[in-house]
Amino acid sequence: MEKKNIVVLTGAGISAESGIPTFRDANGLWEGHDVMEVASIEGWHKNPALVQEFYNLRRKAALVAQANAAHYALARLESAYLVSIVTQNVDLLHEQAGSSHIVHLHGRLDQAKSSIDDRLVYPIVGDEIKMGDLCEKGSQLRPNIVWFGEAVPAIEEAISLVSNADILIIVGTSLQVYPAAGLKEFAPSHCQTFLIDKKITSDRALRNIQCFEESATIAVPKLVEQLLY
């Protein structure tokens, strides 16, 4: 029998349970910084050194974080389904847990890219990008992160995956950040959809979605058991 397609959309809530803070829990502040200062293209143009240091600190924190029970449970789904993880998170916790097909919508903390040519992407050696580190075209290297005010290159791939999903699982996201928040609208009519988040707003758009208002580490393993057995 052909394996069914599961697409999992993950947001900051699943990483928060591994100790990686989310800026939305602090009224848009990240360690005292307005998010637009450190996570927008305007912020980069205004103060690249501040943005660089901010992401160097994020990278150090992500490198010591450990995948949690939710990440490991999602990896187990591959034993019975074709699974694609579409994540808004820039850490590598899904990779650490063993998931094999991951689309990073908002980029990856372990990569640098040219600030003048998006095609020039490099692995980061160590945990820092320094001011003065240049790409082969001579421009400053920056984090390979999609900031506010920038296009999301992987969104088309994500839309294609969701369009072919038999089961859609949304974990740890408030469904407030677009374009990622609109992905569920591309699910086909037969697709079963599950939403797992600690805070779920009452919304008519969720009427055909099975909701679990619980933490990811509790609800995801339970749902995975249900889907596997």
Q: Which residues contact 151 (CB under 8 A, 6 or more apart)?
A: none
Q: How confident is the model at residue 213 (pLDDT cuts 50, 70, 90)?
A: very high
Residue 98 in this model has a pLDDT that exceeds 60: yes
Give the C-alpha separation, 60 to 91, whole Å. Answer: 11
The pLDDT score that the predictor gives to residue 128 is 97
For 126-171, the pLDDT digits (tens) are 899 999 999 999 999 999 999 999 999 999 999 999 999 999 999 9
The full length of the chain comes to: 229
Pairwise CA distance, residues 124 & 109, whole Å: 9
Compute the average pLDDT of residues 77-99: 97
Under the banding of pLDDT at 50, 70 and 90, the label for residue 173 is confident
Among 190, 177, 215, smallest CA distance to 71 is for 215
Q: How far apart are the first and last CA of the chain?
A: 16
Q: How much is the average pLDDT of 96-115?
A: 97
Position 205 scores a pLDDT of 62
Mean predicted confidence (pLDDT) in 31-53: 91
Share of the chain above pLDDT 90, in %: 80
Check the CA dihedral 83-5-89-215 and report its sign: negative
- pLDDT over 70 (residue 27): no
> What is the mean predicted confidence (pLDDT) over 188-199?
93
14, two tokens: 């699943």
Farthest-apart Cα atoms in the chain, separation: 56
Are the C-beta atoms of 12 and 173 separated by less than 8 Å? yes
Q: Model pTM?
A: 0.92
Q: Which of 99, 40, 52 is nearest to 75 (CA)?
A: 99
Please tell me the predicted confidence (pLDDT) of residue 119: 95
Would the pLDDT of 63 be above 80?
Answer: yes
> Is 106 a known active-site residue?
yes
* Confidence check: pLDDT of 179 > 80: no
**Which residue out of 71, 94, 104, 106 is catalytically annotated?**
106
The answer on pLDDT for 23 being more than 70 is no
* Model confidence band, residue 208 (pLDDT cutoffs 50, 70, 90): confident
Q: Looking at residue 70, what is its pLDDT?
A: 98
Alpha helix ranges (H) inside 107-173: 155-163
How many angstroms separate the CA atoms of 149 and 45, rounded? 12
User: What SS3 state is found at 144?
Assistant: strand
Question: What pLDDT score does 102 carry?
Answer: 98
